[in-house]
Chain A
Amino acid sequence: SQQGEEDPQALSIQEGENATMNCSYKTSINNLQWYRQNSGRGLVHLILIRSNEREKHSGRLRVTLDTSKKSSSLLITASRAADTASYFCATVFFQGAQKLVFGQGTRLTINP
């Protein structure tokens, strides 16, 4: 079963608004990563937050991590039409292999 679960499954907002996506996971992690995927293409790495970090920023992106609640959130500020994509959180385990475990993603649509 997949470790991470994103919420909501779909989100539609107006251009310029902020978009918030949430991710929950089940077990201890080494780090958590967020990825973007456009129309069934490859995934693009957005941001990585380590288990000992609580918040991280990258441009218009802000990620938080609450290890006590096993949850993370991705905030995209001042959304643009180009932000329309699916967003996935992935938890990382070091068990021999460095495995990314993905949720089912949030489909974000930015309306012009």
Chain B
Amino acid sequence: ETGVTQSPTHLIKTRGQQVTLRCSSQSGHNTVSWYQQALGQGPQFIFQYYREEENGRGNFPPRFSGLQFPNYSSELNVNALELDDSALYLCASSLSGAYGYTFGSGTRLTVV
């Protein structure tokens, strides 16, 4: 049984560019969530996917979008990058919110 895998681990982008981050869920988990963690802060909920449908979204603009695939892997896309998008992006998978979430190691995004 594998855990949650995120790629890439680090990324540097220029303001205005677009980025795609990827996440492979833990085997058997059908729910995936994405979080943004700024330096020194707790993670902030971006959105959640359940069986390929977005079923909840945090206070993030539409330029943050996502996908979940039939194998429950997921992508986070951010368009028109801003300097404040620099953060650690965490993917978490779960079978149910009644249990704990398994987090990946994150993607460190730096926007310059």
**A2 surroundings in chain B (CB, below 8 A):** 42, 44
Q: Which residues 38-54 of B sit at the A interface, judged by CB distance below 8 A?
A: 39-45, 47-48, 50
A25 on interface, CB distance cutoff 8 Å: no
Task: Report the nearest A residue to B108, measured CB to CB.
Answer: A40
Nearest A residue (CB) for B88: A40
A45: contacting residue among B56, B102, B105, CB under 8 A = B102
Which of A40, A88, A97, A99 has the most C-beta atoms of chain B within 10 angstroms of its own C-beta?
A: A97
Stretch at the interface among A12-20, A73-81, A100-108: A100-108
Residue among A4, A33, A40, A97 making CB contact with B48, cutoff 8 Å: A97
Count of interface residues, chain A, beta-carbon cutoff 8 Å: 28
Contact assessment for B48 and A99 in the assembled complex, using a CB-CB cutoff below 8 Å:
yes
A99 x B55 contact (CB < 8 A): no
Q: When A and B form their complex, what is the total count of cross-chain residue pairs whose Cβ atoms lie within 8 Å?
A: 79
Is A42 within 8 A of B41, CB to CB?
no
A103 to chain B, nearest CB (A): 5
State the CA gap A105–B97 with chains docked (Å). Answer: 21
Cα distance, A100 to B106, chains bound together (Å):
16
Interface residues as binary, A70-112 with B (CB distance below 8 Å gives 1, 0 otherwise): 0000000000000000001000101111111111110000000
CB contact under 8 A between A42 and B42, given known A31-B98, A97-B48, A98-B48 = no
- Give complex CA distance A40, B4 in Å: 16
Residues of B within 8 A of A100 (CB): 33, 35, 43, 45, 92, 101
Instruction: Give B104's nearest chain A residue, CB to CB.
Output: A42
- Given A88-B43, A95-B56, A105-B42, 18 more pairs with CB closer than 8 A: A4-B42, A30-B97, A30-B98, A31-B97, A40-B39, A40-B88, A40-B106, A40-B108, A43-B90, A43-B101, A45-B102, A50-B98, A94-B97, A98-B96, A99-B58, A100-B45, A102-B35, A104-B41
Ordered by A's residue number, 15 sampled pairs between the chains whose C-beta atoms are within 8 Å are A2-B44, A33-B100, A42-B103, A43-B90, A43-B103, A45-B101, A45-B103, A50-B98, A94-B97, A97-B55, A98-B94, A99-B45, A99-B48, A102-B35, A103-B42
